[in-house]
Structure formats: C-alpha cells, structure tokens
C-alpha cells in the first residue's frame, strides 16, 4: 500500500514505516518563534525546567507582529526575547527582515522533506516548499525548544488536484479562497492538504505560498505542494541541499480526493465574518470600502504588488480609501523599490509601511472604526480582527484589492 | 455549573482579541475574554462555569492566550461538537479540558450541567449526553496536569530517528 507525502515525510524522518492516524514523537528540523507567541514559549520552557535549547541553529527567531514596538509591553517582550537569543546563542533576525512566513523560506531555513513547527497558525505556509510544517501553541513550542521533538498525529490527506490555467487577473488567491468556500472552515480539520495537478506544477513559489498559507483556514494541519523544479529553483541560492523527489505513491490512501479545473474560475472574495463565506467578486461589487490592505504572509510578495501595480496602471487610488501597502520582507520591499512599484503606489496615494504583519492581526496600525469596511489580501476576516467588532473585513486577491482601491467600491479586477 | 453557550466557528480572535496578546497572565487575560463579542462573559463568568459550543471551536490563531484567558476566568471545560486542531492541543496543554460531544444543541445558555469524565457523560437536566474519550496520548498529558508538568522531570524524550 502506497503512501501520501505526509506519511513519507514522517516515515523518512523517523526511520520507521508510519501511517496516517498513528501518533509519533518526531524530531523537528526547524522551530520558529516570533514576538507574539515567543515570550510565552520561553516562559513555559523555563517552567519546564529548560536550561539549554535543543539546538540553537534549528531555532528561528524574529519579530514581525508589533514592530517597531507599539507599546511598552511589546518593547519589553522584544527585550526578553533578545536576551534569550543571546543567552542561548540563537540567531535573531529581530525586526529587520519581515514577516515570519516569508523570511523562513527566503533565508533557506526550510527544505523539502523537513518537519518544521512554528508558534503561529500560518506556519503551514512552508508546505509550499514540500516540507511538513504546522502551527503549534506556545507550550508545545516550549517542549520543542527543550527536546527538539514533538508528538504528532500523522494526518490523513486530502488530495487536491487542480488543472487548467488562470484567466487574466485571476490567480492563486482566488483558487484558495474558492477551495476554502468549498471545503469549509473545518472541512479539513486535522488533515493534510496535498496540492497537485497541472495548475500547481505551473504555479510560481509565490502563488504556492499563498495557497499553503491558507490551509489552516480549512482547519488543515498542513498544506503541501510536492517539491519539483520550481522548488529547487527557488532554493538553489538559499540553502545547501540536493534535489530529490517526494511525490505521493500512485496507490496512496487518501481521506478524500478532490479535483477542479480553474479555467473559468472567477475572482473570489470572502465576505464577513468567516473565511469560508466565499462568493464571486461580482456578487458584492459596488460595496463601499474605507480601507484596502495589500500585504501579509498570504500576499505580500513582489508578484502580488506587481499584479496590483498592473491593475493600477496610470490611475490613482480613490481619495476616500486608505490604501496600506506592506511588503512581507526586506527582500520583497527592495524588489518592489527597485522595480519602481513603491514610487508608483506612493504617487497613487498609498501609505507604504516597512515589512511587518501590518493590519492583518489588528495589533498595531490600520485599525477600523465601527461601521467601517476593509478589503484585505490577508488570510482572516474574523469579527474584530482588524479593530472594531462592528467593522467588516473582506478578503481578496491583490488584483481585486487594487481595483477596489481605485474605485472606492468592491470591483471586479477584470473591469478596470 | 452555569453554561456559557456559543455557536459554530468561535475563533481565537473572538476569545481574545489580538491587541491583548502582550499579556500573559491568565487572570489579566480573562478580563478581556470575548471582549467586543460577548461582553458579559468577563464580568460574570465564575470558577467552574462551562463553555458549550457548536462546531470548530477555537479556529484561527495558534495563540495560547485563548485557552489561558478561559482558564483565568475559571473555565475548566469547553464542550463542543468539534474543535480546531491547534486550540484543542493548547487547551489540553494549559489545563482547560476540551470535551467533544455531538449533542451540544440540547444545552442552552444559562443551563446548569455537570461533566462526569469517568462515566463519559454530561448531565443536563434529565438528559445524559455521551462524550468522546480524550485520545490516549493526550490523556497521559492530562493525567500529569498539563504538558509543563509532564515535561518538567524529563531530561530527554525518546525520538524515532534514522
């Protein structure tokens, strides 16, 4: 009986044949902590009697949610983490590089076949590189910091086979929003989404990261794109590793198999207040927006801003909309800067902020007043996520966000 | 024990909004639990009260502040039809027991219920509702009083490796 990609990764790492449903204490290749959940993990590590972390080289530390510190409490958390990094000899990217889920792959800290954990739910993003990566809480992270391993229940997999090519101004975000709408917010709970098919084979790493990132929005533990030429191309100048194939076996056993063709996929939008409330953009076109946020670990890469810039063209953003642009990392920021995109956005009336999570979590800036509407390229539209619980958050692709920022109302990007 | 009844897809942003995540003390976190979505909770929840919900409780963020805020409010059990994966583990690790019960629809806000883990039943008025057992490997953690206690005395874990 064949194996899924998730079963292969756990069996390979553990040197024993494992199947979905089995519980295993597995070693981790990487553990990421940031400024929100890191301090709690460090405190619990000490409560657990932790003295030295298992391997400082495998721990990735950075600050991205509240940077530069937006409160004295945040500043104190940063100091505490900096001190821990020095004491434990952990390299700390601090607040200089950007959002965790962009920085970890960018710096070559994750490779195909790895088991990676992060104390952030969107850690499933690294599945785009063919790793088994998943979000955990701070106490589980404390256990990892101490022992370099964690209990995992090896998940059953849902095979998602996607074929066809995107229409103009329709892209990976529309695909993953559509899937979230179909599968539902808990339709993949505790499962691994295994993405495959022609569409994924042709998709660039940026699009794959967008899709893997949102696996958690269906409840999934991981969202994996098996490594291929695109993966190895992305990694070749980032880390030392030899290419290998990691595909599921033909006769692998799946919890479910889904397939779709995206050739006629419409631009999608998640309407308040759940990520799986997904409709075609045309159904809500014309609704007024007060703020548009383009950025986050879901859609804060150069490719996303290039798409937005193409929609913008020589237009300006509406005077009635606050447009907030936040590249996901220093590298992505510089690519946008050198490519002339930053100048274009600023000239068009946007605020461009330094790499960070921005309004995604409603932690530091870009908060909404009661009654206001935000359109965001991030991954969650929960009530109160970006400020007032009486505000509304819609989620879309960068193209739809840019089109709506120009007109001031939700707009199908194909019509701009 | 008084029931605080919630619906489906209660997310971690609702349990504890992002702006309070610089706080780590459970008691202090509990003052902001469900702020903006159910303001009576923080003021009125008492030790021993129980949260009862529908499907997918705790979806969203990995923030452990969510079960900690409930713990700080004195909540010992969350009973739901199903839980989001990360919240489920975080709840076990922090000592708020997540209980899966398919029949939460019959329980209403303000009801008085009791949970009997040994017998695997919830008593709600004259009804007895069956609850699913906690998975075996999780039970070990629960029995030791949470993951911190479980891990405290251990010097190393036995890991399968090549």
The ipTM of this complex is 0.95
Residues A194 and A55 in one domain: yes
CA distance to A63, A149, A263, B52, B116, per residue, from B128 (Å)? 49, 40, 52, 15, 10
Answer whether B142 touches A (CB < 8 Å): no
From A196, A228, A261, the end of a domain falls on: A261
Residue A218 three-state SS: helix
Chain-centre distance for alpha carbon A354? 18
Contact B60 A121 (CB under 8 A): yes
Which residues form the domain of A383?
A: 269-415
* Domains contained in chain A, number: 2
Answer whether B32 touches A (CB < 8 Å): no
CB B56 within 8 A of CB B28: no
CA distance to A10, A54, A155, B70, per residue, from B161 (Å)? 10, 15, 19, 37
Residues A120 and A223 in one domain: yes
Contact A140 B147 (CB under 8 A): yes
> Who's near A61: CB < 8 A, 6+ residues apart?
A32, A33, A34, A38, A81, A85, A90, A91, A92, A93
Residue environment code for A53-69, b if the CB has 16+ CB neighbours within 10 A, otherwise e: bbeeebbbbbbbbbbeb
From B64, which residue of chain A is nearest by alpha-carbon distance?
A: A137
Q: How far does the CA of residue A288 sit from the closest CA of chain B (Å)?
A: 24
Residues A233 and A278 in one domain: no
Q: How far does the CA of residue B67 sit from the closest CA of chain A (Å)?
A: 10
Sheet holding A373-376, edge to edge: A278-280, A268-270, A392-395, A373-376, A291-295, A322-326, A351-352
Residues A136 and A31 in one domain: yes
In order along its 416 residues, chain A shows pLDDT tens digits of 899 999 999 999 998 899 999 999 999 999 999 999 999 999 999 999 999 999 999 999 999 999 999 999 999 999 999 999 999 999 999 999 999 999 999 999 999 999 999 999 999 999 999 999 999 999 999 999 999 999 999 999 999 999 999 999 999 999 999 999 999 999 999 999 999 999 999 999 999 999 999 999 999 999 999 999 999 999 999 999 889 999 999 999 999 999 999 999 999 999 999 999 999 999 999 999 999 999 999 999 999 999 999 999 999 999 999 999 999 999 999 999 999 999 999 999 999 999 999 999 987 899 999 999 999 999 999 999 999 999 999 999 999 999 999 999 999 999 98
Inter-chain CB pairs, A–B, below 8 Å: 155
Q: Which tokens go with B14?
A: 């609702």
Distance CA A66, CA A80 (A): 14
Q: How far does the CA of residue A24 sit from the closest CA of chain B (Å)?
A: 8
Residues A189 and A331 in one domain: no
Residues A179 and A306 in one domain: no
CB A178 within 8 A of CB A87: no
Cis peptide before A68 (omega within 30 of 0): yes
Residues A306 and A387 in one domain: yes
Residues A227 and A317 in one domain: no
Residues A286 and A148 in one domain: no
Residues A157 and A134 in one domain: yes
Residues A223 and A369 in one domain: no
From A261, A290, A319, the end of a domain falls on: A261
Contact A48 B152 (CB under 8 A): yes
CA distance to A32, A364, B58, per residue, from A102 (Å)? 12, 19, 25
In B, residues 46-105, which contact A (CB 8 Å cutoff)? Answer: 55-56, 59-65, 82, 84-86, 89-90, 93-94
From A230, A261, A292, the end of a domain falls on: A261
Q: How far does the CA of residue B117 sit from the closest CA of chain A (Å)?
A: 23
The CATH number that applies at residue A398 is 3.30.499.10
Residues A255 and A275 in one domain: no
């Amino acid at each position: 009986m064949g194996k899924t990609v998730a079963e292969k990764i756990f069996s390979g790492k553990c040197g024993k044949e494992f199947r979905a449903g089995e519980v295993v204490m597995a070693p981790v290749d990487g553990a990421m902590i940031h400024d929100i959940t890191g301090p709690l993990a460090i405190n619990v590590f000490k409560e657990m009697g932790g003295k030295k972390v298992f391997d400082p080289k495998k721990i990735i530390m950075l600050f991205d949610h509240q940077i530069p510190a937006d409160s004295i409490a945040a500043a104190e958390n940063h100091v505490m983490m900096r001190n821990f990094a020095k004491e434990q000899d952990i390299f700390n990217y601090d607040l200089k590089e950007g959002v965790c889920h962009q920085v970890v792959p960018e710096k070559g800290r994750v490779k195909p076949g790895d088991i990676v954990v992060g104390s952030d739910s969107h850690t499933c993003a690294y599945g785009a590189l063919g790793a088994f990566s998943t979000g955990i809480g701070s106490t589980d992270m404390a256990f990892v910091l101490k022992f370099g391993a964690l209990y995992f229940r090896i998940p059953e997999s849902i095979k998602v086979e996607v074929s066809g090519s995107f229409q103009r101004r329709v892209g990976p975000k529309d695909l993953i929003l559509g899937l979230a709408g179909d599968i539902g917010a808990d339709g993949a709970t505790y499962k691994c989404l295994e993405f495959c098919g022609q569409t994924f084979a042709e998709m660039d790493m940026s699009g794959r990261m967008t899709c893997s990132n949102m696996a958690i929005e269906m409840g999934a533990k991981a969202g994996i794109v098996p490594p291929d030429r695109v993966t190895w191309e992305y990694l070749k100048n980032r880390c030392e590793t030899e290419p290998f194939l990691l595909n599921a076996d033909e006769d692998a056993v799946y919890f479910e198999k889904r397939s779709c063709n995206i050739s006629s996929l419409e631009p999608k939008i998640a309407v308040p207040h759940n990520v799986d409330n997904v409709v075609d953009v045309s159904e809500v076109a014309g609704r007024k927006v007060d703020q548009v946020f383009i950025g986050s670990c879901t859609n804060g890469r150069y490719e996303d801003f290039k798409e937005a810039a193409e929609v913008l063209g020589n237009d300006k953003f509406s005077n009635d909309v606050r447009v907030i642009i936040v590249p996901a990392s220093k590298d992505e920021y510089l690519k946008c800067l050198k490519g002339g995109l930053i100048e274009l956005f600023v000239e068009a009336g946007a605020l461009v902020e330094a790499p960070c999570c921005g309004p995604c979590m409603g932690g530091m800036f870009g908060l909404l007043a009661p009654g206001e509407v935000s359109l965001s390229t991030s991954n969650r539209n929960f009530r109160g996520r970006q400020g007032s619980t009486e505000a509304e958050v819609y989620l879309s692709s960068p193209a739809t966000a840019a089109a709506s920022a120009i007109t001031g109302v939700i707009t199908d990007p194909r019509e701009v | 024990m008084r029931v605080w009844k919630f619906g489906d897809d209660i997310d971690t942003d609702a349990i504890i909004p992002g702006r309070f995540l610089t706080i780590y003390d459970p008691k202090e976190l509990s003052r902001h639990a469900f702020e903006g979505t159910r303001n009576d909770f923080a003021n009125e929840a008492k030790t021993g009260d129980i949260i009862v919900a529908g499907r997918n409780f705790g979806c969203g963020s990995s923030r452990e502040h969510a079960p900690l805020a409930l713990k700080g409010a004195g909540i010992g059990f969350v009973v739901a039809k199903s839980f989001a994966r990360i919240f489920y583990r975080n709840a076990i690790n922090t000592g708020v027991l997540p209980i899966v019960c398919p029949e939460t629809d019959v329980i209403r806000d303000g009801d008085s219920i009791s949970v009997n883990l040994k017998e695997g039943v919830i008593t709600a008025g004259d009804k007895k509702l069956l609850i699913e057992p906690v998975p075996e490997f999780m039970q070990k953690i629960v029995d030791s009083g949470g993951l911190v206690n479980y891990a405290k005395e251990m010097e190393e874990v036995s890991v399968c490796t090549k």
